[in-house]
Amino acid sequence: MPVHPPSARAHQPFRFRTVEGLLRKAEALGLDLPFDRDIDPLLEPARIASHDVPNRIAVQPMEGADANPDGSPGELTFRRYRRYAEGGSGVIWFEATSVVPEGRSNPHALMLTRETRSAFEALVDATRTEAGKAFGYAHRPLLVLQLTHAGRFAAPDGPHAVRCACANPHLDRPGTSSAVWQDAELDALREIFVDRIALATEAGFDAVDVKACHGYLVNELLGAHTRTGSRYGGTFENRRRFLLDVVTGARERVPGAVMAVRLNGSDCVPHPYGFGMAVDSSDSIDLAEPRALARELASRGCCLINVTAGVPRHAPHIGRPCDRPAGGVAVPPEHPLVGEARLIGLAGAIQHACAPVPVVGSGYSWLRQFWPNVGAGVLRRGMAAFVGLGRGAFAYPDAPRDLMRRGALDRKKCCTTCSRCVEMMHRHSITGCAVHDRAVYGKV
């Protein structure tokens, strides 16, 4: 599976007013785009572990950068998750939450500690209450907390000394030196992850995700082919060790914990510096290891896998097909539909590998008002069990409610994939939708 298939054409913004226009473009690009005019599959209930989930729509973990200094959720954090809850999504995947201060991706990232646990419990309660008020208390979205260490992308207090699993010429920042994690430090961090999973369960989250995507530490370890003399690098067995040990350790310490993983189907960073890539160092994807890892996660009790791709600092269009790239980023070398098809295909491959464990698919926001039709087609084909929206949820948190009540989306409320939210993230400012939530984010 090439990163840029031969069928790709030049980048173009979304200009489709009709379903037929979208499908004609997909056909012209040589893409088999799943599609269904009947969106009912999106609104069907599901079951994850012992939890009944009201529908197949998931809010993806998008960082709002609005935590308090101690990492506890701030006023805007509460506002965001209340809006998701009253919007009707079946799964609400709470954003990246650091397990240690030095692992925060920015000074305002969430962080779970014993001191902040009660604030997260209040966030869970507020989210559940809002969902109950909007839809009745039988409607209980699955609440998933994503735990992370940002690794080489950590920036807890501005400029910092990079710490990484191993050198990576595609990701190393020019002019900076990197300290490499020692095995003993990773052993200690593994135990901290397990402790924070216990805290998240105590706080009332239904499931806990170990973030293994987008170049953050756990994902970086999966691609650490050049890390030598280490229990956490080189061979596939060693590279997957940290993630599997955290999942196994959490299941042993908290037998009732529902474990999830947000996993890169491929880093789209050439071998030997990325996970899920052909060993010939080309831009071709090789899913042998991602499939094997998904099967192993399932065998160790992981109940939910969320599939994404790419490292935003390297090639942001891989995981975020867009109309307009963020400032300073080159126009993507492919049509966004190519990226959509890639993400759908990756999720489908992982879903087939780890079935019956459900998979959440990513990257649907660029499709605007047609994502429900594509998502329903994906569900009917068994290429995922849930359809996830990140930027789209920032812009249109009540999209599921509109689908329930009107059977369609309001085109004017959909995400425009303008990348302004990404630019806010880059500036470490509060982050949200500057287009559709202008009163809060329009002047950020």
Per-residue model confidence as pLDDT tens for the chain (444 residues): 545 444 447 999 999 999 999 999 999 999 999 999 999 999 999 999 999 999 999 999 999 999 999 999 999 999 999 999 999 999 999 999 999 999 999 999 999 999 999 999 999 999 999 999 999 999 999 999 999 999 999 999 865 667 999 999 999 987 666 799 999 999 999 999 999 999 999 999 999 999 999 999 999 999 999 999 999 999 999 999 999 999 999 999 999 999 999 999 999 999 999 999 999 999 999 999 999 999 999 999 999 999 999 999 999 999 999 999 999 999 999 999 999 999 999 999 999 999 999 999 999 999 999 999 999 999 999 999 999 999 999 999 999 999 999 999 999 999 999 999 999 999 999 999 999 999 999 999
| Residue 29 in tokens | 């690009």
CA distance 200 to 209: 10
pLDDT at 174: 77
Among candidates 263, 258, 262, 290, which has minimal Cα distance to 276? 290
Q: Quick one: which H or E segment has residue 395?
A: helix 391-395
- Rounded distance, CA 208 to CA 220, Å? 20
Q: Which of 291, 418, 406, 407 is nearest to 345 (CA)?
A: 291
Q: Which two tokens stand for residue 25?
A: 């473009």
Beta carbons within 8 Å of 438's beta carbon, 6+ residues apart? none
**Could you tell me how many helices (H) and strands (E) the chain has, helices first?**
14, 13
- pLDDT at res. 157: 87
Ordered alpha helix ranges (H), 166-216: 183-202
CA 396 to chain centre: 17
Residue whose structure tokens are 């929206």: 389
Q: The CATH number of the domain where 345 resides is what? A: 3.20.20.70
Are 378 and 348 in contact by the 8 Å Cβ rule? The answer is yes
User: CA 92 → CA 100, 142, 228, distances in Å?
Assistant: 23, 6, 39
Please, what is the angle between helix 117-135 and helix 183-202, to 10°? Answer: 40
Q: Coil, strand, or helix at residue 204? A: coil
In a domain, 9, yes or no: no
Burial of 16 (0-12, 13-18, 19+ CB in 10 A): middle
Is residue 259, in this structure, part of any structural domain at all? yes
| Beta pairing class for 46-48 and 57-59 | unpaired
Q: With respect to residue 56, please indicate whether it lies within any of the assigned structural domains.
A: yes
Q: What is the domain count for the chain?
A: 1
Sign of CA pseudo-dihedral 74, 78, 83, 89: positive
Helix (H) or strand (E) holding 96: strand 91-98
> What pLDDT, on a 0 to 100 scale, did the predictor assign at position 162?
78
User: For position 4, what pLDDT does the model report?
Assistant: 46
Q: How many angstroms separate the CA atoms of 399 and 394, rounded?
A: 10
Give Cβ neighbours of residue 11 (< 8 Å, ≥ 6 apart): 331, 332, 333, 334, 335, 336
Burial of 438 (0-12, 13-18, 19+ CB in 10 A): exposed
Q: Give the distance between the most distant pair of CA atoms in the chain.
A: 59
Q: Is 151 domain-assigned? A: yes
Q: Looking at 117-232, list the stretches that DSSP marks H as alpha helix, in order from N- to C-terminal side.
A: 117-135, 183-202, 217-222
Tokens of 363: 């990257």
Is residue 10 assigned to a domain? no
CA dist 353 and 21 (Å) reads 33
**What is the torsional sign of CA 250, 252, 258, 259?**
positive
The Cα 233–Cα 221 span in angstroms is: 7
CB proximity list for 342: less than 8 A, separation 6 or greater: 1, 3, 309, 318
Within 8 A by CB and 6+ apart from 273, the residues are 168, 169, 170, 171, 223, 225, 226
Do the domain assignments include residue 177? Answer: yes
Domain that holds residue 352: 19-441
The DSSP output letter for 424 is: H
User: What is the pLDDT at residue 6?
Assistant: 47
State residue 161's pLDDT score.
62
Q: What is the DSSP string of 242-288?
A: HHHHHHHHHHHHSTT--EEEEEES---S-TTSSSSB-TTSSSBB--H
User: Three-class SS of residue 320?
Assistant: coil
Residue 390, Cβ neighbours under 10 Å: how many? 24
Q: How far apart are CA 288 and CA 293, in angstroms?
A: 9
Q: Has residue 282 been placed in a domain?
A: yes
Chain-centroid distance of CA 365 in Å reads 13
Give me the amino acid identity at 12.
Q
Residue 13 belongs to some domain of the structure: no
CA atoms within 13 A of residue 126's CA, in its CB half-sphere = 18
Question: What pLDDT score does 173 carry?
Answer: 81
